[in-house]
């Protein structure tokens, strides 16, 4: 399932930003999506992946098959990159795990160059509203709540896309000029 989502996420990300030079995957896991993007983006100079779990970064480094791939341990809430460092930021099925989604999206906006693009894929559905009553209170699990956070972080041109099954959706948005 994660590989199907990654293939669709790559298609979607490259439909909004066709030839990114510098790409970041936040919550990259084992780096599958970044390896796909590396194959499809010969012009890219840097494809960086960050994940909170050292074991994921270790696996991503072992599977890395392109010298432009770079992986680091770290969190969405405190990205260890300078301002305007990337043209495209992607994230798949990680957002729901972020302890502070507002801070994480602000960081995504900060590291994107003006006019750069975000592709954020996760479970987003009003069908998930009941789950917010239990363990995930406060998480943005609907397009409406996530849209509010994306706007507050300064993203514009927000669009929602069905990605996989009923509840995996993706937001695409542009970083403010």
Ligand X SMILES: C[S@@+](CC[C@H](N)C(=O)[O-])C[C@H]1O[C@@H](n2cnc3c(N)ncnc32)[C@H](O)[C@@H]1O
d(C-alpha 150, C-alpha 157), whole Å: 10
Q: Which residue has the tokens 């479970």?
A: 123
Beta carbon nearer to ligand X, 15 or 99: 99
d(C-alpha 120, C-alpha 138), whole Å: 18
Shortest Cβ distance from residue 177 to ligand X (Å)?
Answer: 27
Beta carbon nearer to ligand X, 4 or 157: 4
User: Whose CA is closest to 25, among 10, 8, 39, 43?
Assistant: 10
Q: Which residue has the tokens 């790409």?
A: 23
Beta carbon nearer to ligand X, 46 or 96: 96
Beta carbon nearer to ligand X, 62 or 156: 62
User: Closest residue to ligand X, Cβ-based?
Assistant: 29
User: What are the residue ranges of helices labelled H in the chain?
Assistant: 2-16, 32-40, 54-63, 101-111, 143-152
| Contact criterion met (CB below 8 Å) for 125 and 171 | no
d(C-alpha 177, C-alpha 130), whole Å: 37
Shortest Cβ distance from residue 95 to ligand X (Å)?
Answer: 8
Shortest Cβ distance from residue 116 to ligand X (Å)?
Answer: 19
| Contact criterion met (CB below 8 Å) for 141 and 124 | yes
Shortest Cβ distance from residue 70 to ligand X (Å)?
Answer: 15
Name the site residues for ligand X (rule: CB under 6 A): 2, 6, 26-29, 32, 51-53, 56, 75-77, 92-94, 97-99
Beta carbon nearer to ligand X, 20 or 27: 27
Shortest Cβ distance from residue 144 to ligand X (Å)?
Answer: 22
């Amino acid at each position: 399932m994660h590989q199907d989502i990654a293939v669709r996420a790559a298609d979607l990300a490259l439909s909004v930003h066709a030839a990114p030079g510098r790409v970041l995957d936040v919550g990259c896991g084992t780096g599958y999506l970044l390896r796909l993007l590396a194959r499809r983006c010969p012009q890219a100079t840097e494809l960086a992946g960050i994940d909170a779990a050292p074991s994921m970064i270790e696996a991503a480094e072992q599977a890395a098959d392109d010298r432009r791939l770079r992986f680091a341990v770290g969190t969405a809430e405190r990205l260890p990159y300078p301002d305007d460092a990337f043209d495209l930021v992607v994230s798949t099925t990680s957002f729901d795990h972020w302890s502070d989604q507002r801070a994480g999206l602000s960081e995504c906006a900060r590291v994107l160059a003006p006019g750069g693009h975000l592709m954020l894929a996760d479970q987003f559905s009003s069908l998930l509203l009941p789950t917010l009553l239990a363990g995930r209170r406060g998480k943005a699990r609907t397009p409406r709540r996530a849209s509010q956070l994306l706007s507050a972080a300064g993203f514009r041109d927000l669009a929602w896309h069905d990605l996989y099954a009923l509840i995996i959706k993706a937001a695409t948005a542009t970083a403010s000029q």
